[in-house]
Amino acid sequence: MPVLTRLIPSPVVVDIRPGALDDLACVLADERISQSGRLAIAVSGGSGARLRDRVAPSLPGADWFEVGGGTIDDAVRLAGAIQGGRYDAVVGLGGGKIIDCAKFASARVGLPLVAVATNLAHDGLCSPVATLDNDAGR
């Protein structure tokens, strides 16, 4: 098998430290992901609302999207909402369901993904795979 067919995307930067969330705007600008601040940020309605209150002042150019859950329908709705928004990137801020919806939506509209995990998983930050629920299960 040719080498190029076995390549998968990997994170540009992984920042795990106290205060990393508070420095999100600086990390995005420093890594040249979004110097303009035009971001589509996906969060949940529960803890995501509290995270939004904490992070929003440092990202005034961002648009925030509440994702209902981890279904394919939620991910398609998110992609439709951000399509044509002239964003620099999609940010999934939360747990696995939010990040997986953001992964799907960013791939669908052709934007880079920034995964900001609020819990640790074995590969959720860097895996290109999104696990979404549908009528038949997962």
The confidence band for 87, taking pLDDT boundaries of 50, 70 and 90, is very high
- Please, are residues 47 and 98 in contact by the beta-carbon 8 Å criterion? no
- Please, are residues 112 and 87 in contact by the beta-carbon 8 Å criterion? no
Dump pLDDT digits (tens) for 51-80.
Answer: 999 999 999 999 999 998 888 999 999 999
CA distances (Å), 16 to each of 31, 40, 58, 94, 115, in order?
Answer: 15, 22, 19, 14, 12
- Establish if 126 belongs to a structural domain: yes
pLDDT of residue 35: 80
- Please, are residues 92 and 116 in contact by the beta-carbon 8 Å criterion? yes
As a whole number, the mean pLDDT across the chain is 85
- Establish if 1 belongs to a structural domain: no
- Establish if 131 belongs to a structural domain: yes
- Establish if 12 belongs to a structural domain: no
User: What CATH number has the domain bearing residue 107?
Assistant: 3.40.50.1970
- Establish if 2 belongs to a structural domain: no
Structural domain boundaries, residue 56: 34-138
Structurally, the chain folds into a number of domains equal to: 1
Please tell me what DSSP assigns to residue 32. T
pLDDT of residue 47: 85
Region for residue 103 given its phi and psi (left: phi exceeds 0; alpha: psi -120 to 50; beta: otherwise):
alpha
The confidence band for 138, taking pLDDT boundaries of 50, 70 and 90, is low
pLDDT of residue 126: 65
Residues 82, 42: Cα–Cα separation, whole Å: 10
pLDDT of residue 15: 81
